[in-house]
Amino acid sequence: MSITLDLPGDLEQKLALEAAERGMPLTDYAIELLSRGTSATGEEDEVRTGADLVDFWEREGLIGYRDDITDSVAYAQEIRRQAERRIRE
């Protein structure tokens, strides 16, 4: 099936940028977004387990998006140190 959509320019640019960030063609990204918005069974996808949550985070691109953090433990420790030294007003 083929559908043609006339998207507002700013929405098209936003989708194209998000697709590029994920390394996907715009059409594939649009199909992925649309498939998440609907379900063949009519039921919403629910997060029931930790594995479901990790799968959701991966689908949303939340895992591994911070390439600048090479040592997550050291990064967390540094954030903690900064918070402890913060001056409260």
Q: Which domain holds residue 17?
A: 1-45
Percent of the chain with pLDDT over 70: 90
Of 71, 57, 61, 55, nearest to 22 (Cα)? 61
Q: What is the mean pLDDT of the chain?
A: 84
Predicted confidence band at 82 (pLDDT cuts at 50, 70, 90)?
very high
Q: Do residues 85 and 66 both lie within one domain?
A: yes
Of 11, 45, 42, 55, nearest to 29 (Cα)? 11
Q: How many domains does the chain have?
A: 2
Query: How much is the pLDDT for 9?
Result: 87
Q: CB atoms < 10 A from the CB of 16, how many?
A: 15
Q: Do residues 28 and 64 both lie within one domain?
A: no
For the CA atoms of 33, 37, 38, 44, the dihedral, rounded to the nearest 10 degrees, stands at 130
Q: Do residues 41 and 53 both lie within one domain?
A: no
Q: Do residues 29 and 59 both lie within one domain?
A: no
Which ranges of the chain does DSSP label H, i.e. alpha helix?
9-21, 26-37, 50-59, 72-85
Q: Is the pLDDT of residue 21 over 70?
A: yes
Task: Please state whether the predicted TM-score (pTM) of the whole model is above 0.75.
Answer: no
Percent of the chain with pLDDT over 90: 28
